[in-house]
Amino acid sequence: MLLFTPGPTPVPESVRLAMAEPTLHHRTPEFEAIFKETRELLFELMATDEVVMLASTGTGAMEAAVTNLCHHTLLNVNAGKFGERFGKIAQAHGLNNVEIKHEWDTPATADEVVAALEANPDIDAIAIQISESAGGLRHPVEGIAKAVKEVRPDVMVIADGITAVGVERIDVTHIDALIAGSQKALMLPPGLAIVGLSNAAVEKIGEGKGYYLNLASEIKKQRQNTTAYTAATTLVIGLGAILKQIKEGDGLGKLYCDTARRAKATRFALEALGLHSYPKSPARSMTTIDDVNAKEIRDLLKTDFGVNVAGGQDHLKGKIFRINQMGLIEPYEMVWVVNAVELALAKLGRRDYDGTASRVFNEEYFKSMLKKEDA
Ligand SMILES: *Cc1c(COP(=O)(O)O)cnc(C)c1O
């Protein structure tokens, strides 16, 4: 069965093997050397001033960012389950929260964020997804962050990049906290989260807030290549292995480029079948299709064609399906996925099978290769 859910994503064999080594004690020079190397590779990936790894899933990093960077009122953008979660975290910690709510296909705008800041002077942090995985939606976070800093430079910008870091290069100029998680674009098992921080964020954190998710304790220890509590040693080793493999291979630039090409070719192939791409601004992390037969298509993909894709949640349950684009995915696997969707549509009597999906995918993906040389 091909795993094509937007998290968890398949773990490459080389990484699985790296993680099969006997467990190291975390307070040893051997592990500290691995931690240091992984941390240095993370700085290249995140491009932030500071970076910490947390033994938690992505939600733990979301909580750490909110509690350490928001002291009064959080503005959160809710255009899906993960954006909604930021608001719930704020409420759970007794913070005020102002929410901008959208249908799950609609990106936030800088204007509405600035208007919310002007209407609520108590807001001291904003939290938003770069890629909102609930509907495969890309929010224009870099532009929003810039607009926020123009009107309120003191407001901390928290960007959930759990399905964006490792997918595309993120401009962190105006971002104070950039969050990543192990089991999505970083191709690892679940259990490790990463927070990249700006110098301004480190300053605001000060002594930190909370206990386990106190970012000040982690910053202090991780600058010395160790962790406040037991490190997720195996996952740190895995993270080092995947980042090294990317670096020593074709590099992050090639990974981002291949992901963009694949996501675009997949969308074109499915649209050529008459299917509709759900988000008004699609993220590159996944291809999201809304369709009356979404459930039937997803079931057929699994039972007849060996492909596991994700469905929708809440009001989109049974109404969308989501195909992962994150990680090191071979184009021949994606060709099979779009072809399987076409076969499923044929089985449902929706259209005659004629190989359109794989043809369009190949034409788009290999466009530069197929182009005739200019004389
Ligand atoms: C998966 C995901 C999360 C939550 O991560 P967990 O690891 O399940 O805690 C948060 N934000 C986005 C955008 C995600 O895709």
Q: Is 198 exposed, middle or buried (0-12, 13-18, 19+ CB in 10 A)?
A: buried
CB-CB neighbours of 348 under 10 Å: 12
Is the CB of 181 inside a 6 Å radius of any atom of ligand 1?
Answer: yes
Separation of alpha carbons 146 and 178, rounded Å:
15
Please give the C-alpha separations between residue 90 and each of 35, 93, 117, in angstroms, as whole numbers.
Answer: 31, 5, 17
Q: What is the pLDDT of residue 374?
A: 58
* Eight-state DSSP code of residue 24: P
Average pLDDT, the chain: 97
CA-nearest residue, atom 15 of ligand 1? 133
Q: Is the pLDDT of residue 375 over 70?
A: no
Is the CB of 82 inside a 6 Å radius of any atom of ligand 1?
Answer: yes
CB 130 within 8 A of CB 286: no
What the block records as the tokens of 2 is: 């091909």
What the block records as the tokens of 27 is: 């307070």
- The model carries a pTM of 0.97
Q: Which residue has the higher pLDDT, 23 or 148?
A: 148
CA-nearest residue, atom 2 of ligand 1? 162
Q: What is the pLDDT of residue 368?
A: 81
Give pLDDT tens digits for 205-244: 999 999 999 999 999 999 999 999 999 999 999 999 999 9
Is the CB of 127 inside a 6 Å radius of any atom of ligand 1?
Answer: no
Compute, in angstroms, the gap from residue 13 CA to the centroid of ligand 1. Answer: 23
CA-nearest residue, atom 5 of ligand 1? 58
SS3 call for 17: helix
Q: Is the pLDDT of residue 372 over 80?
A: no
Is the CB of 162 inside a 6 Å radius of any atom of ligand 1?
Answer: yes
* Residues in CB range of 23: below 8 A, 6 or more apart: 233, 234
CB 172 within 8 A of CB 48: yes
* Residues in CB range of 366: below 8 A, 6 or more apart: 331
Ligand 1 atom nearest the C-alpha of 161 is: 13
Compute, in angstroms, the gap from residue 6 CA to the centroid of ligand 1. Answer: 10
Q: What is the pLDDT of residue 23?
A: 87
Q: Which of 242, 195, 221, 199 is nearest to 54 (CA)?
A: 195
SS3 call for 153: coil
Q: Is the pLDDT of residue 373 over 70?
A: no
Could you give the domains of the chain? 13-248 (3.40.640.10), 251-374 (3.90.1150.10)
- Hey, which residues does 132 pair with through a beta bridge? 137
CB-CB neighbours of 185 under 10 Å: 29
CB 162 within 8 A of CB 184: yes
